[in-house]
Amino acid sequence: MKLIGYFRSSAAFRVRIALNLKGITVEHAFRHLRKGEQSTPDYVALNPQKLVPTMVLDSGEVLTQSLAILEYLEETHPEPSILPKDPVGRARVRALALISAADIHPIQNLRVMAYLREKFDQSEEAAFAWSRHWIETGFDAYEASVAKDRRTGAFSHGDQPTIADLCLVPQVFNAGRFKVDMTRYPTLKRIFDTCMKHPAFDAAQPSKQPDAEK
């Protein structure tokens, strides 16, 4: 398999963590999003959304969308599992994952920030405030969802990493770039710290990727 990503992409970061957790070795390729390498015809043929990541299977089949790729990896490489076994628990984990993956990240990714600056003539400061607003709105809900729920353990759900954590950790990295005050989110901070002690998360972080910029 080949994963086409970008060191700073939250979505690619999620998939890298899953691959590490499950011990799956893949070839890594890169598209530099700030240089527009996601818009070349050869890449658009693989990923018409012009987003990363894209996973190319050995069969030649192409998978897109990080959450769909995570579910595929879980179905084809079930151990160790990144979803609980019970349907209600699975729904809880997926809902937590979607706070980051649907209701924060798409609203404040590169292309949206570019629209704010170019079409709405907003300053860098206003675009940063926008990002912080959506991150904080999502994290407020995430913190409320995990702080007092007995199903929360060392990780967002129990004592093993799940898809929820795989989406949370990249979003916390992103929050750091926008100066979000994580002391507002003690449970998220505790889970994040636990995750980052895990080698699968640590090795997947942006600064440790081959395409990382210093």
Residues of this chain that bind a second copy (CB under 8 A): 48-51, 57, 59, 61, 63-65, 67-69, 71-72, 75-76, 87-88, 90-92, 94-95, 98-99, 101-103, 105-107, 111-112, 115-116, 119-120, 122, 126, 129-130, 133, 137-138, 140-141, 144-145
What span, in angstroms and rounded, lies between the C-alpha atoms of 147 and 201?
22
Segment holding 14, helix H or strand E: helix 10-22
Is residue 10 within 8 Å of residue 174, measured between CB atoms?
yes
To a second copy, the closest distance from the beta carbon of 128 in angstroms equals 13
Neighbours of 94 (CB within 10 A): 18
Please say which residue, 64 or 211, places its beta carbon nearer to a second copy: 64
To a second copy, the closest distance from the beta carbon of 135 in angstroms equals 13
What are the structure tokens assigned to 54, written together? 């894209």
Amino acid at 120: F
108-117 contacts: CB < 8 A, separation 24 or more? 108/134, 108/135, 108/174, 108/178, 109/10, 110/33, 110/34
To a second copy, the closest distance from the beta carbon of 202 in angstroms equals 26
Is residue 7 within 8 Å of residue 209, measured between CB atoms?
yes
To a second copy, the closest distance from the beta carbon of 6 in angstroms equals 16
Please say which residue, 94 or 198, places its beta carbon nearer to a second copy: 94
Please say which residue, 145 or 209, places its beta carbon nearer to a second copy: 145
Please say which residue, 102 or 196, places its beta carbon nearer to a second copy: 102
To a second copy, the closest distance from the beta carbon of 98 in angstroms equals 4
